[in-house]
Structure 1
Amino acid sequence: MIKNRTIQWGLCLLVLLGQAACSSNSGKPDANEEGERTSTAAQDTLSEEVTEQPATEADLAKITLPDGFQISYYARKVENARSMALGPDGTLYVGSRAKGNVYALPDRNKDGKADEVITIASGLKMPNGVALRNGALYVAEISRITRYDNISVNLQNPPKPVVVYDKFPTEEHHGWKYIAFGPDDKLYVPVGAPCNICLKKEPVYASITRMNPDGSGLEVFAHGVRNTVGFDWHPTTKELWFTDNGRDLMGDNLPPDELNHAPRKGMHFGYPFCHAGETLDPEFGKGKDCADYTSPVQNLNPHGGTLGMEFYTGTMFPDTYKNQIFIAEHGSWNRTEKIGYRLSLYRTDAQGKGSFVPFAAGWLQNGKEWGRPVDVEVMPDGSLLVSDDMNDAIYRIAYTGKK
């Protein structure tokens, strides 16, 4: 009896302490002397990749595609395969997040399958992003960019990396990066918000930055970008387009992910004040007007985990796909009904009207995922590669129908 009473008193004390803690945090977010504000709402949790048995060849039959398209494995056992970049000789470079590796996948005989998977770097801090310039491989970790010179002839014995820039923030939350060189020969590097929803004093947070290839001249190109893990430049206009992940904990259907267009430097896309051009944030939107920020070109699936995107510039697919955008939807992690886990297409008609439709789906079956698309890459022959960090694979989508 004494033991039970002790337990009861202990539980009561915990309840009282919990109520006091909740009471002390129930007010509105306050600004410190530098103007920085942190949300008092519960913060989102980073989704971890699920380790399961690799899918089989038969699983590819679950993927639905438009008539005339086929999907196959380009490479398997590419652990935690994330963002991709293609070298001039056809070697595919692939970053990872949880694994800490960077891979090279040569296809020397050009048969549409990688000959081998070579680990050219390991033990890195979330090396998600990879990019190539003048024979050098650039790799993005959480807080730094490194460069591996003359990489294509040194796959088996990579050179010691050169540090290009090492002053990015060190927070892991949205700290992994997609990188690419733009038409202006500058390296574009996003810096995600280190939270679900917050306002940091440093302008580098929630932005897309750019720098010279040697790491000099860092500047913010776009503001109000919560977390982009994919962008590309229009083949004709050379203007930047990018995806952005909407904030969490506003319900299953708010806010949507975004597809954005940034034709010039200095634009603000709303975060953390306004989401998707139409929804003021319940905490940070007070006194703000969504009309003051740039709206998305297209609202995407809410919490769909929209990541990599690329304009289709190949000639294998029918002409209706020319210069249209393929988008990888990694999938939701905290939505009541899962959504995403597919490859989608944003296309515009002759009048400039856009539509967002599924292209390849089936990695989600009866509410259970067996794969999670991350990035897309157009190959020289016009086929499309898709990386999958859950199934540790790179897929190849080819068109064999009549044009």
Structure 2
Amino acid sequence: MSTRRKILIALLVIVLALGLALFFLTRGNTAALSVDEVTGTDPTLAEPQGEAVPTVRIAEPVGWEDGELPTAADGLVVNRFAEGLDHPRVLHRLPNGDVLVTLTRAPKSEDGGGITGWIADLLMGWAGATGDSANELVLLRDADGDGTAEVKQVLTDALDSPSGIAWREGTLYIANHDALLAFPYELGTMELTGEPRKLMDLAPGGGHWMRNIELSPDGTRIYVAVGSVSNIGEQGMEVEEGRAMIWEYNLETNSQRPFAVGLRNPNGLDWNPMSGELWTTVNERDMLGSDLVPDYLTNVPVGAQYGWPWVYWKDNFDDRVDAPMPNFLTEYTRRPEYAMGPHVAALGLVFSAEGNRMGPAFGRGAFIARHGSWNRKPPSGYDVVYVPFDERGNPLGKPIPVLTDFLKDNGDTRGRPTWVEWGGDGSLLVTDDTAGIVWRVQAPDAEPAPAIARFESESLRPRTELRGDPRASFSEDFARENNPLGN
């Protein structure tokens, strides 16, 4: 091929890319509701506005200036705990105070995803989400207690788009995009040296590739969040096998089972200290307009069904879905507990905990990182918020800002809050993936928070108390009538 022809093809590609950019950016649905109206326990759900082409409003990441910081809520201060990291995402604090973080991006698609994949890569590239994954697990240590991690040690770079991290009794669990692994690891060690054991295969990659994990309080089970390939099952439900759910892996029997299903893209996982339940954050579907559908925070009892892709918020049908809906689905679909807002991309989740130093105003609730929208006009998210809970473990009111000003007035973004975790000193740590920073938030003069009491309720008394032989309460005729086989 001649040089002239190559230049013409390159120019054509550039013109096509610019044309697509202009097409997407000048179209789309503008929100009629504020984000606040679509949050809380009783959100306003707008009429769906089906879109053949998604609304696109991407905030270009421009980074933070030297010395520039997010704005912390009154009574809180923020500083840079660690920086210069290559797309940090999931955090996990070890019992000795060391903090682990995965440096990761999406795995490469084997087929490139065709034209749809190319467009998606183009859009996500503008948002700072593409590129090669570092595939690293990094240890951060603040040995001198000054609030900054002077130690940044790569434990391994032999992972595959890693996300979730957990540790217990000499075993480090890591979720790659396609497998749950277990490594031997002793606290304080500065590298991973042993070969991992594969505990279970996970559905690989897909549109939602992160795989978060959470150990049960007794350490016998591990929960794995796996998102869907698609928006609403448009590629067929066969490709969604093993996805859009939370798995439970039994470490004692080496077996697994679906724990909760119908969750389009579950991410954050943590145990509610008031109720003892597992809770998660979920990213809901797109292309129903800028006001729908709100991402949510909810509990996930065993066997829970949240309706994806056929319904959202229990009984709102998505008419775009072609796959046959299971019989009586809405009879057992659960309504989410709390709306986080439309398209906010709610990711990291951590509940208030004993020893945290955020002050009494943040003593009983959940902290959530809202990564920020790419498909809402105006943008939503780009912050860390706190959701208050009552003593019974139920969410209340509206989200309270904890860390803001990631989004600039001109629509660019300095960074994108991604994950939250407690530091060893009781501060709240926040990853900012596009900026490569881990932020540290605390109330400077706060005492360590006391333990949060588990709510205990009395059992309800039966409405009717049977005494003696229960069969004596019914006549022989009644028994015969209701047992036609006579046995």
TM tier relative to shorter chain = 0.7 to 0.9
Q: Name stretches of at least 5 consecutive residues in structure 1 with no aligned partner.
A: 1-40
Q: Which aligned pairs between 1:194-233 and structure 2 lie closer than 5 A?
A: 194-198=229-233, 200-201=237-238, 204-213=242-251, 216-233=254-271
Structure-1 separation of matches of 2:413 and 2:444: 28
Q: Which aligned pairs between 1:4-403 and structure 2 lie closer than 5 A?
A: 52=62, 54-60=63-69, 63-98=70-105, 99=133, 100-155=135-190, 157-185=191-219, 186-198=221-233, 200-201=237-238, 204-213=242-251, 216-262=254-300, 264-284=301-321, 290=330, 292-313=332-353, 314-349=355-390, 354-355=396-397, 356-366=399-409, 367-400=411-444
Structure-2 separation of matches of 1:175 and 1:360: 26
Residues 43 and 197 in structure 1, CA contact (< 8 A), matched pair in contact too: no
Residues 182 and 199 in structure 2, CA contact (< 8 A), matched pair in contact too: no
1:354 offset after TM fit, Å?
0.8
Residues 164 and 214 in structure 1, CA contact (< 8 A), matched pair in contact too: no
1:221 offset after TM fit, Å?
0.6
The TM-score with structure 1 as length reference comes to: 0.81
- Amino acid aligned to 2:307: G
SS at match of 1:74: strand
Structure-1 separation of matches of 2:284 and 2:171: 33
1:172 offset after TM fit, Å?
3.0
Q: Name stretches of at least 5 consecutive residues in structure 2 with no aligned partner.
A: 1-50, 106-132, 448-487
* CA gap 1:234/1:279 in 2 versus in 1, 3 angstroms: same
Percent of paired sites with the same residue: 28
* CA gap 1:222/1:67 in 2 versus in 1, 3 angstroms: same
Residues 164 and 175 in structure 2, CA contact (< 8 A), matched pair in contact too: yes
- Amino acid aligned to 1:138: Y
Name the residue aligned to 2:478.
none
Residues 151 and 158 in structure 1, CA contact (< 8 A), matched pair in contact too: no
Structure-2 separation of matches of 1:389 and 1:47: 19
Structure-1 separation of matches of 2:348 and 2:269: 7
* CA gap 1:177/1:44 in 2 versus in 1, 3 angstroms: farther
Larger radius of gyration: 2
- Amino acid aligned to 1:222: A
* CA gap 1:206/1:49 in 2 versus in 1, 3 angstroms: farther
Residues 99 and 423 in structure 2, CA contact (< 8 A), matched pair in contact too: no
Structure 1 ranges of 4+ moved more than 6 A: 41-51, 285-289
Residues 327 and 344 in structure 1, CA contact (< 8 A), matched pair in contact too: yes
SS at match of 2:72: coil
Structure-1 separation of matches of 2:97 and 2:161: 24
Could you report, residue by residue, the CA deviation over 1:92-147 in whole angstroms, capped at 9, with x for unpaired residues? 00013313221111222232211221122225321121111113221111111222
Could you report, residue by residue, the CA deviation over 1:12-33 in whole angstroms, capped at 9, with x for unpaired residues? xxxxxxxxxxxxxxxxxxxxxx
RMSD of the TM alignment (CA)? 2.9
Structure-2 separation of matches of 1:97 and 1:238: 31
1:42 offset after TM fit, Å?
6.5
1:401 offset after TM fit, Å?
5.1
Structure-2 separation of matches of 1:215 and 1:141: 22
SS at match of 1:147: strand
Residues 276 and 299 in structure 1, CA contact (< 8 A), matched pair in contact too: no
* CA gap 1:251/1:74 in 2 versus in 1, 3 angstroms: same
